[in-house]
Amino acid sequence: MMEDGSDNRLRIRTTAELLKAVELGIIDRTEARGMLGMPIKRGRLAKLQPRRGGRFVKGDLVYPLNRFSPTAQRALIQARGLATAEDRAHVETGDMLLALVQLAESAGARALRSIGVGEEQVRSKLQDVGKEEDVLEGTGPTSQLKTAIETAFQEVGYPDQVGTWHLVLALSSCEGRAHYALEQLGARERVLRARTDQFGADDN
C-alpha cells in the first residue's frame, strides 16, 4: 500500500499491517483512510491540522511508517505482538524495549549488548518494575510510548529515518517501564550516548 521509492524498505502490504500501524500511533486514522481509498472527513481534518498560508499541513505528531528504518518497523510490529500475546490492548514501553533487544543484530540491541544488557536481563527487570503506564482511549500505545516515539523523531532530521538506536535512546530518556528497567541495568541515557559514534548509524 505504501510506496517509498526503495526496494529494501518494509512496505505495508495488508490491511492488518495498516491497522497495526494505526494502533501504534505511527499512522493517523485520516491517513489510513486515504491509503484504503476511503473518503477523508475534511471537517475533522480541519480541526486536527494546523494551517500554513491558508492551507492545511500535516500535523507534527503524524509519522508515516516509512519514516522508520525497516528494522525499527519490525520492532514496532513485534511490540504490538508482545502486548497481544499478554491480552493487553495497549503497547507499553516495556514491549518496545523487549522487541528491540529480540532483534539481536539491530543497532539498538547491539548497543545494549555492548554494556551487558540482553533479552534475559531486560525481561527480568521489566518483571520487577511495578509502575503502570497511562493508557489512552481505545487501543494502541500508552502515553509514555507515544512520548518516546515522538522523542525518537526529535533525534533525526527530516527526511532521515528513525532507527532502533534512536528508539533505545528515547526509551532510556522518557518516563515508562522501559526507562526504569534500563536505569536499573545501568543503561542510562548518558551511558548510551557515549556510544553514538559506534551505533548511531542504524541498520537498514
CA–CA distance, 161 with 68 (Å, rounded to integer): 5
DSSP the chain: ----S-TTS----SHHHHHHHHHTTSS-HHHHHHHTTPPP-HHHHHHHSPEETTEE---TT---GGGB-HHHHHHHHHHHHHHHHTT-SEE-HHHHHHHHHHSTTSHHHHHHHTTT--HHHHHHHHHH--PPPPPPSSSEE-HHHHHHHHHHHHTS-TTPPB-HHHHHHHHHHSSSHHHHHHHHTT--HHHHHTTHHHHSS---
For 201, half-sphere exposure in the C-beta direction (CA atoms, 13 angstrom radius) is 2
Beta bridge partners of 125: none
Domain ranges across the chain: 15-62, 66-199
What kind of fold does domain 66-199 have according to CATH? Double Clp-N motif (1.10.1780)
CA–CA distance, 125 with 153 (Å, rounded to integer): 26
User: Residue 203 has which C-alpha cell?
Assistant: 541498520
Question: pLDDT (tens digit, 0 to 9) for every residue of the chain, 204 residues total?
Answer: 444 444 444 456 676 777 777 777 666 666 666 666 555 444 333 333 333 344 333 333 445 788 899 999 999 999 999 999 999 989 999 999 999 999 999 999 999 999 999 999 999 999 988 778 998 776 789 999 999 999 999 988 778 899 999 999 999 999 999 999 999 999 999 999 998 877 776 555
